[in-house]
Amino acid sequence: MQQEFVQLIAQHQKLIHSLCSLYYRLPEDRKDLFQEIVLQLWKSYPSFNHESKVSTWIYRVALNTVFARIRKEKAQPERVPFSEREFQLPSSEVDNELTQALYQAISQLSDVDKAIIMLYLDEHSYKEMAAILAMSRTNVSTKINRIKTRLGQLLKKEPL
Do 5 and 59 share a structural domain? yes
Q: How many domains does the chain have?
A: 2
Is residue 119 within 8 A of residue 129, CB to CB? The reply is yes
Is residue 84 within 8 A of residue 91, CB to CB? The reply is yes
Do 115 and 81 share a structural domain? no
Over the stretch 98-139, which tens digit does the pLDDT of each residue have? 788 888 889 899 989 999 998 998 899 999 999 999 999 999
- Indicate the DSSP class of residue 46: G
Q: 22: exposed, middle or buried (C-beta count within 10 Å: 0-12, 13-18, 19+)?
A: buried
Q: Which of 93, 124, 148 is the last residue of a domain?
A: 93
Do 41 and 26 share a structural domain? yes
Which residues, 6+ apart, have CB-to-CB distance to 125 below 8 Å? none
Q: Which of 93, 112, 141 is the last residue of a domain?
A: 93
pTM score of the predicted model: 0.61
Which residues, 6+ apart, have CB-to-CB distance to 124 below 8 Å? 55, 56, 59, 132
- At 51 the pLDDT is 84
d(CA 137, CA 11): 27
- At 36 the pLDDT is 96
Pick from 87, 95, 79, 131: nearest CA to 18: 95
What is the span of the domain harbouring residue 29? 1-93
Over the stretch 48-98, which tens digit does the pLDDT of each residue have? 888 888 989 999 999 999 999 988 888 876 666 655 445 454 444 445 777
Residues present in the chain in total: 160
Gyration radius of the chain's alpha carbons: 17
Q: 107: exposed, middle or buried (C-beta count within 10 Å: 0-12, 13-18, 19+)?
A: middle
Q: Which of 65, 93, 121 is the last residue of a domain?
A: 93
